[in-house]
Structure formats: structure tokens, C-alpha cells
Amino acid sequence: MAGKTAWKSATPQLSLVLPGAPPRAPASQFHFTDVEIGSRKSRRAGSLIRQALYLDQEDAYAAGEVGFLARALVQATLPHSDPKANEFVRRNGHFTLSILAPTDVGLPFGRYPRLVLAYLTTEAVRRKSPDIELGSHFSHFCAALGIPPTTGPRGSLPMLREQLQRLFASTFQCIFHDESQGRHTGDGFLIAEKRELWWDPRPGNGEAAWGSHVLLSDRFFREATEAPVPLDLRILRALRSPFEIDIYVWLTWRFFRLRRPVTIPWASLALQFGSRYSHPRHFKKKFLGYLRSVIDYYPEVRLESVSGGLLLRPSLTHVAPRHGHSQEAVKPCDSDEAPSSLASR
């Protein structure tokens, strides 16, 4: 349906580029002279999907594939892997995201909770309601996120169910602290005030008698609907690494706001994206490797690896805002340190 945001299957459809079709966007100006990028085999396999997405000239709005993510979760991100702890902290300038989980449940991590948060935010924006229906069949919800439903101890169904439990059990704290202004604000919230999940991930158990749904907390609902960051859901589902997802949504948000060139220090990027590396150069190498995968989907970006960090130049945004969505999340700004709407209250 035209104009409707829909979560579809993760597999992109190949399309032919006919003579006279619009040319592809110019390649990014990024220089990869200082990083070793993956194996030739893995790069070639991934490029088939990326080319299929990019050869399809239909933009995200026309395809009904515009999604959203709450801005606080773009400025600072979830763990990439299991931190084996019940508290996790990410920092981005004056902004800090702290996540606390019950010790018997654990923290959400990886790709799955990121896809769930994008789904919840997208549905909240589309429905303008905190009551989000998840459906009556677990495998259908799994497919809607772009996750092939599989069973077994390490299958996607039990793993997604575990990540849902971790996500909904965790408490999030958004903190904004600026010593120069003597300012300290913060807000704690749950993602959902209430959830009813009737899915049974065991094989052979089909549709539940009742539909599953979550009721978003008032704080998270306001964050999701007042300052959403628009994204292309096709790309979000196609990216295989949580690190890649974080870089994509950060660049999308960053280039909304960037009005002049700015260099982000590697130390700042490490605090924002992953500080669990033994040496800054290890983080830099990992970051640049994942960045190349993202640029395959987003070649309009103009950035460069320089000695002090990552140089960003004003670039075309990947998904432009439309009327009816808040522009507060994308005000012109040259710093990553603007607080989320939660922390700014």
C-alpha cells in the first residue's frame, strides 16, 4: 500500500538495470589504504545482495521501506556481543547511555535487539500509539524482522526470544552532563511497560490462541515519536553485523545534521561504538572494515580516514525526512553531543 511502512522479508529482489536507467550514485570518496578488508570470498558474497539493493532505483519511501529508530539509541548503542555483566555504559560526548539488567536475565546484545527496537519505533511512528501488535505467530514476527526462523538450541527463534526477554527486562538511563554549563540531566525508562508474548519457539507449535503485543513506556514512546531517525529497512535487514547497523544508523543521523566538515577523534568513536578493544588501532581497523560494508549500501557519503580520526564532509542524507515527522532529531549541528529528547527534559 502506497505510503505505508511495512516490514517485509529480508531477501531483496534482484532487478535489471535497463538501457537509459538512472546511473548509480557516485562511489564514496573514502580511502581504505590503511585497513585490511576481509576475505575476497566474503566480500564477493555480500556484494551480490548490496548490488541488488542498489540496482533497485526505487527509494525507501516509494518502496514502503522507511523505518525509524529512537535517537537516544543512535547516539549510544547496545553491546555488540554478550558483555557477561548486568551493567553496560556507552558514552558520546556529554551524552551517556547506561543499561542495567537483572543478573538472572542479562543484557540485550547483538543484531536481534537492534532490529526489534527499529520495529517498535517504526510501528510507534506509523500507528501513533504505544500499543504495538507483534502478531500471533513467532516465525512470522521473526521473518518480519528479516531473520530466517530456525529452531534448535542455537536457532533464531529461541535466540530472538531470549533477546526479547533481555531487552524488555533492562532499564535504560539517558544522562547528559556538561561541566562547563554546570548542567546534569537524566531520565530512566523501560522500553515497554507491559508485554504479552504468547509465542512458543518449539518446533511443531503453530499460531498462538492470542496475539502478542507490547505496550511501550511513555518515556520511550515519546523518544520514538518526537525525534525518530529515518532509515531504510532494506539495508537494516541486510547488514549482518550489529557494528555495521550501528555505523549505518549513525551516518544516516549524522549527515542529516552536518553542515560543515568535522573530524571525529578515534578515541571518541571508540567510546561510542566499542571501547572493549585492547588498543586504539585495533578498534580503528575493525571500524574501517565494517564501514566499507556500510558504504556499499550508502555510497553518497563523503568521509576520509585521517590521522586524528574520521573526517566527515556534508553529504546527501540517505533517507530524507518527510512532512509529518519531527525534524528535531535532525537540526543542523556539527557535534555528536546534542542530548536525546529524554535526557534534555
Q: What is the pLDDT of residues 242-254, one digit of tens each?
A: 999 999 999 999 9
- Assign 34 a pLDDT band (cuts: 50, 70, 90): very low
Do the domain assignments include residue 6?
A: no
| Angle of helix 111-127 versus helix 242-257 axis, rounded to 10 | 40
Q: What is the pTM of this model?
A: 0.80
Per the structure, the complete domain to which residue 293 belongs is given by 40-330
> How does strand 95-100 pair with strand 262-265?
unpaired
22 found inside a domain: no
pLDDT at residue number 341: 53
Instruction: Give start and end residues of each alpha helix (H) in the chain.
Output: 40-55, 72-75, 111-127, 138-144, 156-169, 218-226, 233-238, 242-257, 266-273, 280-297
Residue 2, in any domain of the structure: no
Return d(Cα 292, Cα 298) in angstroms, integer: 10
What integer is the mean pLDDT of 272-292? 84
Asked whether residue 209 is assigned to any structural domain, the reply reads: yes
pLDDT score recorded for residue 65: 85
Domain total in the chain: 1
Among candidate residues 45, 47, 52, the one with its CA nearest the CA of residue 14:
52
Statement: residue 135 has pLDDT above 60: yes
The cell numbers describing 276, all together, are 572493549
Rounded to the nearest 5°, which phi and psi values hold at 251? -65, -40
Q: Provide φ and ψ at 303, rounded to 5°.
A: -150, 165
- Residue 212 — pLDDT band, cuts 50, 70, 90? confident
> Cα–Cα distances in Å, from 64 out to 17, 57, 122, 276?
21, 13, 12, 37
The C-alpha atoms of residue 137 and residue 117 are separated, in whole angstroms, by 19
Is 35 inside a domain boundary? Answer: no
- Residue 341 belongs to some domain of the structure: no
Asked if the structure places residue 61 within a domain, the reply is yes
